[in-house]
Each structure stands twice: as C-alpha cells, then as structure tokens.
Amino acid sequence: MTTSDLHDLRERTREFARARDWAPFHTPKNLAMAMSVEVAEVAEHFQWLRSGADAELDDATRAAIRLELADVLLYLVQLADQLDVDLHAAAVEKMALNAIKYPPKPR
C-alpha cells in the first residue's frame, strides 16, 4: 500500500462520514474502540482453529476475514486522520526501529 492509497482511503472515509453526519461521533476514543471491536471480530474467525493456516479456512471464512480486515483498516485510517498521523511514515519509522531492536540473525 502506498502513501497515495492511504490518502485515497482517508478521503473516502472522510466523505463517507460527512455524508452521514457521523463526524461528531468519530472521536479518537470512539474510533479506537470501534477498531478494537473489529480486531476481535477478525480473531473470532481463528478462535478454535488449530493454527489458522490457509488450509483450515473455507472460502466463506476467508471472505468474512477479508471484510473484517477492511473494517480494521478503515477505522485505523480514520483514527490516524483524527490524530494527524501519517500512517505510511509511521510504519516506515517503526520498521526501522524494529530493525535496530531485532537485528537479523548472523548467517
């Protein structure tokens, strides 16, 4: 996903909320809570599976997980928008920090 893809999602979610007068409800707290609910809905699909590997998932479950992941992403984009966080830059920065914290194993 590129920065422009994230900007596109941000603009689409802004317009979607604006058209429904949802902006007053899209506070950082509410968006974070909604996102956590969606994450739980993703986890629910894996709850009683042995590993959650692809072979354990039927087409309907894969489709449901896909849509729940989209919900998580959309709430994440909206939360980042409310907090003025550039998600692409934050992710790149976090990966750089993780590379320092968890260096590659020597070969």
Burial of 9 (0-12, 13-18, 19+ CB in 10 A): buried
Name residues whose C-beta falls within 8 Å of residue 50's C-beta, 6 or more positions apart in sequence: 56
> Is 51 domain-assigned?
yes
Mean pLDDT across the stretch 67-94? 97
10: containing domain: 3-101
Structural domain count of the chain: 1
The stretches of the chain forming alpha helices (DSSP H) are 3-19, 28-44, 59-82, 87-101
User: Is residue 4 pLDDT above 90, yes or no?
Assistant: no
Which two structure tokens, joined as six digits, stand for 43?
Answer: 């986890």
17: domain CATH number is: 1.10.287.1080
Q: Is residue 106 part of a domain?
A: no
Would you tell me how many other CB atoms lie within 10 Å of the CB of residue 88? 16
pTM, two decimals, is 0.90
pLDDT of 25 over the 90 cut: yes
